[in-house]
Structure 1
Amino acid sequence: MRTVAFIPARGGSKGIPGKNIKDIAGKPLIVWSIERAKNSKLVDKVIVSTDSEEIAKIAKENGAEVPFLRPEDISGDTATTESAMLHYCDWLEKNNELYDNLLLVQVTSPIRAETRFDDAINYFKNNQLDSLLSVCPSHRFFWRDLENPVASYDFKNRPRRQDLKQSEIPYMETGSFYITKIEKLRKHKNRLCGKVGMFVTPEEESYEIDSLVDFKFCESMLTNSIGTK
């Protein structure tokens, strides 16, 4: 079973300009993901898909391959991650490169344990999954719809968190990484398809960088090696 790590990284970022290559805890943000994928024993190749020459240069300098610059029509603010994934799958077919699975690695989630990808790939294989998403358990109670509030739990009989059954514990999609069989991805055009599995990670790996507050918080964790061992 051959797995390629796919790291999408557009040049444009409205929230934090140059976010993907902004220095965090001593190295560009994207390098944290490249290094984790490169150090995985079960990842056969690490690819960065970008529309930026600068990102491509940094990616190559840190061991990733950048076989092309992503076309403009799938690089804008409205472009989906799936469009970049499928573009790369087409490139693989045209270049006669065969891989079974695509490990989607999100740059904005830099906090991951050293063996995280290998553990997830083994879980994916052992459970004969078609796709997988990283999640973390949440013991918080959620509501939705400000105009017509609806609770995700029975607020008239508020449960104690410690009394929740395993099947009742909600899991939050962290966005850190996904694994998808390439055959299924091309058929369904979605990273989650077929037999879907959840791979549980600790809370510290759930943080995503979308703002400067997130950036400073994750930088502190990385500097102190929290969640990276």
Structure 2
Amino acid sequence: MGGVLAIIPARGGSKGIPGKNLKEICGHPLISWTIVQAIEELGEENVLVSTDDEEIFKSSAQYGHVFDYIRPKELAKDTSPTEPCMLHALEWYCKTTKQDPDYLMLLQPTSPVRKKDRLKEIINFAQKGNFDSALSVCETHSFFWKNTKNPSASYDIEYRPRRQDIEECDKQFKETGSIYLTKTEFLRANKNRLGGKIGLFEMDPVEAYEIDTPLDFSILGLISEYSDEFSSRFNAA
């Protein structure tokens, strides 16, 4: 396994759900679920939380985060794209540790449901496929429509397909937002975490669950109660 730096982005100024990264699920802050898994699978020296918020910084340290990195305010605005934040954190890490990782992994704390060893698996997947970038996806069986003046479907409405009739080449996949992996040299050159030779890393649909609304926290709590693998994440913490 080549060197990998996992970056966990967590701004303090969430408008949709104020303080969402510190909102608790089963007694632990949302962000901690991702921190604990990343440290367990990659090692504390390879995990960097990118935040502009002092409370998130302190909470991250309580769950094993070891770096004194604070994201600059100009990279923590509502309009701030992700890639400049990744590159800033990367260069800080390289300067601080004298290490230059082969890959940069982006882990969204708002998608905390990941099975054990998923991070190692996507690294192996990317290396074996020699992908410039890879992202987590899950298969979707939904039919999509465009709500235009003349609504149109993503399938032929004269021959509505059954799930079992869909051929492998016609299957559709949803970007989960949970894990992204990019070769460091590609990210530096292209300023984009996706591109080049792209690999789709399939995960289970439940792992695509994302926190967007207050109701999502309640649903995620139920998921954790019925998922031994997810709820036991802190047993060793």
Q: Same fold (TM over 0.5)?
A: yes
Matches within 5 A, 1:127-206: 127-206=129-208
Matches within 5 A, 1:55-74: 55-74=56-75
Residue aligning to 2:225: 223
2:42 is the counterpart of 1:20: no
In 1: Cα distance, 2:147 partner to 2:218 partner:
31
Letter matched to residue 23 of structure 1: E
Unaligned runs of 5+ in 1: none
Matches within 5 A, 1:30-179: 30-41=31-42, 45-95=46-96, 96-179=98-181
Unaligned runs of 5+ in 2: 233-237
Does structure 1 retain, via aligned residues, the 8 Å contact 2:122–2:201?
yes
The C-alpha deviation readout for 1:18-42, integer Å capped at 9, x for no partner, is 0001111120000000011111158
Letter matched to residue 48 of structure 2: I
More helix by share: 2
Partner SS state of residue 206, structure 2: helix
The C-alpha deviation readout for 1:109-155, integer Å capped at 9, x for no partner, is 01110111111111111111110010000111011233332211111
Does structure 2 retain, via aligned residues, the 8 Å contact 1:4–1:102?
yes
The C-alpha deviation readout for 1:37-75, integer Å capped at 9, x for no partner, is 111158851100000011001111111233321111110
The C-alpha deviation readout for 1:169-193, integer Å capped at 9, x for no partner, is 1000000110001110011111102
Partner SS state of residue 11, structure 1: coil
In 1: Cα distance, 2:51 partner to 2:45 partner:
20
Calculate percent identity across the aligned residue pairs.
45
Aligned residues: 229
RMSD: 1.7
Residue aligning to 2:235: none
The C-alpha deviation readout for 1:76-112, integer Å capped at 9, x for no partner, is 1111111211111232344432111011000000111
Does structure 2 retain, via aligned residues, the 8 Å contact 1:59–1:66?
no
Pick closer, same or farther for the CA change 1:42–1:66 going to 2, 3 Å.
Answer: closer
Letter matched to residue 215 of structure 1: F
| TM-score of the pair, normalised by structure 1 | 0.94
Pick closer, same or farther for the CA change 1:138–1:93 going to 2, 3 Å.
Answer: same
99-108 or 65-74, which deviates more: 65-74
Does structure 1 retain, via aligned residues, the 8 Å contact 2:71–2:89?
no
